[in-house]
Amino acid sequence: MRKQIAAANWKMNGNYQQAEKLLNDILSANVILQDHQQAIFSVPSPFLIMAKTEVGEEGGYDVAAQNCFNKASGAFTGEVSVEMLHSIGINYCIVGHSERREYFAESNAMLAEKVNLCLQSSITPIFCCGEPLNIREANTQNDYVAKQLAESLFHLSDRDVQRIIIAYEPIWAIGTGKTATSLQAQEMHAHLRSVLAGKFGAEVANNISILYGGSVKANNAVEIFSQPDVDGGLVGGASLNAEEFLTIIRSLK
């Protein structure tokens, strides 16, 4: 069975003490994960070492960075390199979140560079894709996300693409008042898998976990995660509440 993953994206929220308490509240619940299940905490960069220490050897739990730079090193003040992340034991990194694409103009080509650097340092990219409202309203979302995959991932080998986690974000359903149904999530996830199968083959595509990133909450996680091509969620606001995120973890297949 593909890995079923509850990934918390804390974004730019909280201070050190709040982050430590939130992590402790979640870990102290002692939710035992099965071998095919995983919980990942994507925390702000200043909290990475603390989070990695707190998680320790806890089975099924790990820590992710929220971003990395697309160059190995150099005069890029304020940026964080993949080598830096690797040196503190970080095994996962979000790449291409919709907010990075929108606010920081990250292109598909730039994200391909980030993916390469992560894989070279044995860091698993959590690669985000998804369409904005105008694309969904024009009913061109399938071509839009297929292009994101093609321009950022299709240069990879069969082996390397299976080292990636994909997260689908229906940007039009986040903070807009519009709601994506579980069936809409399934339709897009199935499409993403078919795009991957068209390039890499069905066996490879079926080994790639695809997470849903469209406002997953405690009250909809079971329904969303029950869809056959949905392998968990990339969770934003709900991951900042210990009880909410614990419910989401428990909702994994």
* Rg of the Cα atoms in the chain: 17
Is 97 annotated in the active site?
Answer: yes
Pairing between strand 92-95 and 61-65?
Answer: parallel
Collapsed DSSP state (helix, strand, coil) of residue 92: strand
Is 137 annotated in the active site?
Answer: no
Of 97, 99, 189, 244, which residue is the catalytic one? 97
Q: Residue 122 and residue 11: Cα distance in Å, rounded? A: 23
Of 99, 169, 189, 244, which residue is the catalytic one? 169
Residues paired with residue 126 on neighbouring β-strands, in sequence order: 94, 165
- For residue 192, with 0-12 CB atoms within 10 Å meaning exposed, 13-18 middle and 19 or more buried, which class applies? buried
- Spell 66-75 as b/e; 16+ CB within 10 A means b: bbbbbeeeee
Which is nearest to 200 in space by CA: 227, 163, 250? 163
Collapsed DSSP state (helix, strand, coil) of residue 109: helix
36: left (phi over 0), alpha (psi -120 to 50) or beta: alpha
Neighbours of 151 (CB within 10 A): 14
Active site residues: 97, 169
